[in-house]
Amino acid sequence: MDAENLHYFEKAPVAKAVAHFAVPMMLGTSMSVIYSILNAYFLGTLHNTAMLTALALTLPLFSIIMALGNLIGMGSGTFISRLLGEKKYDDVKHVSSFAFFSCLVLGLIVMAVGLPLIVPIVHGLGATSDSFGFTKDYVTIMLIGSPFVILFFALENIVRSEGAAITSMIGMILSVVLNIILDALVIFVFHWDVIGVASATVISNLIGSAYFAYHIGNKRQLLTISLKWFKVSKDILSNVFKIGVPVFIMSIFLGAMSLIFNHFLVEYGDQAVAAYGISSRLLQFPEFILMGLCEGVVPLIAFTFTANKLRMKNTIVFTIKAIVALAIVFGIIVYLISDHLIGLFTNDPKLIEMGSYILHVTFLSLFITGMTSLFTGIFQATAQGTAAFIMSIIQGITLIPVLFIVNQIIGFHGVVWSLVIADAVAFLVGAIMLYILRHKLQADFDNLVQ
């Protein structure tokens, strides 16, 4: 670890330390949302609702593939940050090498299992007769490229765990810029529609992975992707999966929730699915800004948990204040220009009306979403695996029965409002667990410093 990163971990004022770790992550995640939005925008220029529907239907699959990357990346990354706080540098090399090769194996397994099952997967995603072909094309490309997508999300976490937040941001932005350029080429020059958009995503993730791998292999003293440092031990598996599995389950639940949500929306027509696909991408921008803030400070919280408990508390308090401020600003902007935002993707008046309504409702829980991300990050950073696991499933457990009930009572409006209800329950559960665990966190810290 270089002296600059160590300074931000240990000595810099909390506000500057949070900014150092979080701002690059916020910029990187916001760029990833921008290319998700632009995927929909470029397809929208073709004025084919079935293509936009296919893009919305494949979100759960992408969430699952990304979840595999986060399973290894978040689990290994938070473990690495804690090891750095304890100055166990050889263990850091073992964990980073383990993460790299595990991702490649997972990606190959996904490809080998998924491709023979392509048709039932597409049916399971809820594709209609109009959108089936487009959905199948997208799924096929994503399965083929899954090793690179998994590796990209994992390595980004690994790089950030050592404090190299700027490098993490550069890698994410590099991937996004390439994706945008490739999107324009495949749509306007090669006319590859959905296949082109999916290919652009895979290629950009491949190049981003190569950038991170080069950085780890040639620029870092403590991280490595060398096979000679690869090691599988009970300690590594336990610490990686204790945090990684809850993160994976959370992503799976989010994907399952999106899948179930789409199935409910299909009852109200392809326009409802397309409207949700557009509005959810717009909502992702502020959500990912807040998630970037919360994920960005995880290495700092993990390091200070093993090195300086007071600094950890101050970091958390400052992050909460930032969440409140950002949620207010984004909320005001969306409520003023929601129609214009949806209008960027379609000229269909009904689609604009439905999308704007979904935006208004879901933005009500923006602050709650930010806080639940912070709760989850705290549990991950402090190795509270059970609490992280509960956070990973509570929203899904709440949403599914709520969806069935409110859909029967008030139809489409109930389906949309179910998201806010599930977010509120997750927030309450997270707040209660953090309050209950406050004494255990102090005891764990005391044991570490003894």
Provide φ and ψ at 164, rounded to 5°: -85, 65
The mean pLDDT of the chain is 82
Q: For residue range 117-139, what is the model confidence (pLDDT) as tens digits?
A: 999 988 888 787 778 888 888 89
* 255 or 240, which is more confident: 240
Three-state SS across the chain? CCHHHHHHHHCCCHHHHHHHHHHHHHHHHHHHHHHHHHHHHHHHCCCCHHHHHHHHHCHHHHHHHHHHHHHHHHHHHHHHHHHHHCCCHHHHHHHHHHHHHHHHHHHHHHHHHHHHHHHHHHHHCCCCCCCHHHHHHHHHHHHHCHHHHHHHHHHHHHHHHCCCHHHHHHHHHHHHHHHHHHHHHHHHHCCCHHHHHHHHHHHHHHHHHHHHHHHHHHHCCCCCCCHHHCCCCHHHHHHHHHHHHHHHHHHHHHHHHHHHHHHHHHCCCHHHHHHHHHHHHHHHHHHHHHHHHHHHCHHHHHHHHCCCHHHHHHHHHHHHHHHHHHHHHHHHHHHHHHHHHHHCCCCCHHHHHHHHHHHHHHHHHHHHHHHHHHHHHHHHHCCCHHHHHHHHHHHHHHHHHHHHHHHHHHCHHHHHHHHHHHHHHHHHHHHHHHHHHHHHHHHHHHHHHC
- pLDDT of res. 254: 65
pLDDT in tens, 324-351: 999 889 888 888 887 778 887 777 787 8
pLDDT digits (tens, 9 = 90+) for 57-92: 787 788 788 888 888 988 888 888 888 877 888 888
Structure tokens at 412: 């489409």
**What is the structure's pLDDT at 450?**
46
Number of domains in the chain: 1
Above 60 in pLDDT, residue 56?
A: yes
pLDDT at position 255 is 63
Band the pLDDT of 444: cuts 50, 70, 90.
Answer: low
> Distance (Å, rounded) from C-alpha 122 to C-alpha 194?
14
Containing structural domain, residue 111: 3-449
* pLDDT at 212 exceeding the cut of 90: yes
Q: What is the pLDDT of residue 367?
A: 85
pTM as predicted? 0.71
Given a cut of 60, whether residue 197 has pLDDT beyond it is yes
Whether the Cβ atoms of residue 243 and residue 79 lie closer than 8 Å to each other: yes
